[in-house]
Amino acid sequence: MKKKRLIVLITLLIVIVVLGTMPYFIGWEIERRFSDINQTFLKKLNLKAVDSSYERGWFHSSAQTLVERGKTASNDNRFILVHEIDHGFLPIRLPVVDTTLQPALGTATLLEVHTTVQINSDIVIQLKMPAHQVKNEKAYLQWQDFEGTVYANRHLTAIQTEIRTPHIELETAQGRIVIQQMSLQADVQPGSTNFLQEARLSIADIRLAGKQKPLVTLKGLELVGKNDIVSDNLMIGVKTGLEQIQVGADHYGPGFGRFELLHWHVPTLMSIRNTMTEIQSRGLPKRLQDRMLKLRLAPYGVALLKNTPEFAITSLNFNMPEGELRGALRVKMEPFDQFALAAFNPSLLLNILDAQLDIHIPQSLLQDDSTADETIRQRLNLWLDQGILIPAKDQPNYYQSQMQLKGGTLQVNGQPLPIATVLSEN
C-alpha cells in the first residue's frame, strides 16, 4: 500500500514539475522564434529595426524594438514596438503576445497587435489601428478604426489576412476622397517555389469631389486579383465589378472587366525600383534627376522588353442609358535596344508595340442628346466620318472598330491608316 502511494506521489510530483516548467520552456521557444516573427512583421510594415531588447521571465517576458522608416534617422521617422508576452499554461491557456506601436517621442498608440500562439505553433493575430488624423500643408487624412485578422502557419509559408475599416477620408487642394466600408482579404504563400498571392478588395461607396467639378460616386466596387511568379516572371490577373457610378445627376452601370499583366521580369522590376529610389533620395535638381533616371534606367528597359511583357483588357462591359459599351485590348511590347536613338526620334518607340483593340458602342451615344461628354461625342463623330467607326455586322444599332498596331504600322478595320489620323482633332 505504501509502495502504491509512493508511486502516486512520484507521478504527481513529475506532473507538477512538468507543468511548472512548461511556461519557462514555452518562453524559451517564443524567444527563439521571436526574432524571425518580428522581422517578418517589420518587413510587412516597411520598417527597419535599429535596436532591440528582450527580458525573459518564468511566466512572462517583455521586449522592445526601436524601428525607423525611410533613410532619414530622425525621431519623426522612428517608432517603438513594445511587446508583452504571456507564456501561457498549456493546454489551459495559450501563449499570447500583446504589441503596441508608438512614436519614439510621444505616447499615442498607432497600432495594437494581439498575437495568440496555437498548440500546433500556428499564429493568429488581431490587428487594430485606432482612429487617427494626419495633417500637413499639402493634405488632410483621417480614418476610423482599422481592424484585421492574420492567420499564419508555424513556418510562415501560408498567411491569410483580412483588414477592414468603415471610413477613410483624404482632402487636398485638388479635392476630397471619401471611402466607406472597405474590406481587404489576401492569401499569401511566401514560402512556396512560386510566390502566390490572391486578394479581394470590396468598397461599398467612394465619393470623389473635385474643385468646381461634379460629384462622382462609385457604389459596390469589387476587385479580385491573383498574381504568380513563374521563372522570375510576374503574372497578374484582376477581375473588377462596379454596381453603379454617378456623375452629377447621371447614373451609369453596372460594369465589369478583366485585366492581365504577363511576362514582367521581377528582378528587372526590382532593379528599376531600387535605382529610382536611390536617385530620388539624392535630392538633385529635377532636370539633373530626370537625365540621370533616363541614363540609368535605359539598360533595364532593354532587359525588361526581352521578355515581351504584355498588358491586356480581355473584356470590358459597361452599361450606359444608351446601351452597353464593350471592348477588349491587348498590348505586347517587343524587344527593343535603340533607346538612345529614340531620345531623338520618339516615333521609334511605336516599333515596340504589338497591339489590338476591339470596341462596340451604341450608335445613340453619338447623338446630341446622349449622356456622353461633349468632347468624347465630338471625337466619336469624327471617327465615324473617317471610317474608324463602322456599323457593327453582328449587332444592329451599334458601331464597331478593330485596330491593330504592329511594327509601327496601323490598320483600322482591315485598312492601313496613318496613326496621326486617329489622334487628330479635325
What average pLDDT does the structure give for the chain?
82
For the chain, give me the number of helices (H) and strands (E)?
6, 23
Q: Is the pLDDT of residue 71 over 70?
A: no
CB 248 within 8 A of CB 255: no
Please indicate, yes or no, if residue 92 is contained in any of the structural domains: yes
pLDDT at 390: 93
Please indicate, yes or no, if residue 271 is contained in any of the structural domains: no
- Give the residues across from 271 on adjacent strands: none
Please indicate, yes or no, if residue 158 is contained in any of the structural domains: no
Which residues, 6+ apart, have CB-to-CB distance to 140 below 8 Å? 133, 134, 169, 170, 171, 172
Chain position carrying cell 521557444: 29
Within 13 A of 351's CA, how many CA atoms are on the CB side?
11
Within 13 A of 94's CA, how many CA atoms are on the CB side?
14
User: Band of the pLDDT at 371, cuts 50, 70, 90?
Assistant: confident
Closest CA relative to residue 313, chosen from 358, 376, 361: 358
CB atoms within 10 A of CB 274: 10
Closest CA relative to residue 130, chosen from 149, 113, 150: 113
What is the domain range of residue 110? Answer: 1-130
Task: Measure CA 220 to chain center.
Answer: 19
Please give the span between the terminal C-alpha atoms of the chain, in angstroms, as a whole number.
111
Section 207-226 average pLDDT:
90
User: Band of the pLDDT at 17, cuts 50, 70, 90?
Assistant: very low
Please indicate, yes or no, if residue 114 is contained in any of the structural domains: yes
User: Band of the pLDDT at 90, cuts 50, 70, 90?
Assistant: low
Task: Using the CB atoms, write b or e for 12-46: b if 16+ within 10 Å.
Answer: eeeeeeeeeeebeebbeebbeebeebbeebeeeee
Residue 53: enclosing H or E segment and its boundaries? strand 48-56
pLDDT at 68: 82
* Cell of residue 147, nine digits: 481592424
Closest CA relative to residue 272, chosen from 236, 290, 299: 299
**18-32, 130-144, 162-176, 188-202, range with greatest mean pLDDT:** 162-176
Section 130-145 average pLDDT:
87
Phi-psi region of 4 (alpha: psi -120 to 50; beta: other; left: phi over 0): alpha
Q: Is the pLDDT of residue 66 over 70?
A: yes
Please indicate, yes or no, if residue 43 is contained in any of the structural domains: yes
List the single range of 35-39, 218-222, 257-261, 417-421 with lowest mean pLDDT. Answer: 35-39
Task: Using the CB atoms, write b or e for 228-265: b if 16+ within 10 Å.
Answer: bbeeebbbebbbbebebbbeeeeebbebebbbeebbbb
pLDDT tens digits for 411-422? 999 999 888 777
Which residues, 6+ apart, have CB-to-CB distance to 187 below 8 Å? 158, 159, 160, 161, 196, 197, 198, 199
Three-state DSSP class for 89? strand
Domain count, the chain: 1
Q: Is the pLDDT of residue 54 over 80?
A: no
**Distances 184 to 148, 181, 394 between C-alpha atoms, Å:** 9, 10, 40
Please indicate, yes or no, if residue 2 is contained in any of the structural domains: yes
Q: Determine the angle formed by the axes of helices 286-305 and 266-280, rounding to 10 degrees.
A: 170
Which residues, 6+ apart, have CB-to-CB distance to 45 below 8 Å? none
pLDDT at 45: 64
**Distances 36 to 41, 42, 43, 194 between C-alpha atoms, Å:** 9, 10, 11, 21
Distance between CA atoms of residues 190 and 65, nearest Å: 24
Q: Is the pLDDT of residue 355 over 90?
A: yes
pLDDT tens digits for 247-287? 888 888 899 999 999 999 989 998 998 899 888 888 888 88
CB 317 within 8 A of CB 326: yes
pLDDT at 196: 62
